[in-house]
Amino acid sequence: MPATTSPVLDTLMDINMASIEHTHLMPRELMLARLAALVAVDAPPASYLANAGAAADSGVTEQDVQDILIAIAPVVGTAKVVSAGGNLMRALGFAIAVAEDEDVL
């Protein structure tokens, strides 16, 4: 097995590629399903951030995110939806901070 400097990141990339290769969902629907799953497992902000680029690239909108949160609330519960809202906001804040730092450099 070749040595790597980022084995965890490489493994996550491999898992994501396998998921994409073995699904018949269109990219947008795949990202909506992943968003719902992130909410269901009470994912941390970093998990939302890790999916944000692909979600945006696939056409997922702010309205889509709100609609998913509304649609799954009866299944996952209000506490997870509220937690997801906070985690999404923290992920967005981190992304904005990184973008601003890049502008300064």
Residue 94 lies in a domain: yes
Residue 37 lies in a domain: yes
**Does residue 5 contact residue 49 with C-beta atoms inside 8 Å?**
no
Task: Give the total number of structural domains in the chain.
Answer: 1
DSSP code at position 3: -
The DSSP element (H or E) to which 73 belongs, if any, is helix 62-76
**Does residue 99 contact residue 60 with C-beta atoms inside 8 Å?**
no
pTM listed for this prediction: 0.85
Residue 8 lies in a domain: no
Residue 93 lies in a domain: yes
- Residue 57's alpha-carbon distances to 28, 36, 52, 69, 101, in angstroms, are 8, 17, 8, 20, 22
* Tens-level pLDDT at each residue, the chain (105 residues): 567 799 998 998 899 899 999 999 999 999 999 999 999 999 999 999 999 999 999 999 999 999 999 999 999 999 999 999 999 999 999 989 988 988 766
Residue 20 lies in a domain: no
Domain with 90 in it:
26-104
Residue 88 to residue 77: CA distance in whole angstroms: 17
pLDDT at 103: 78
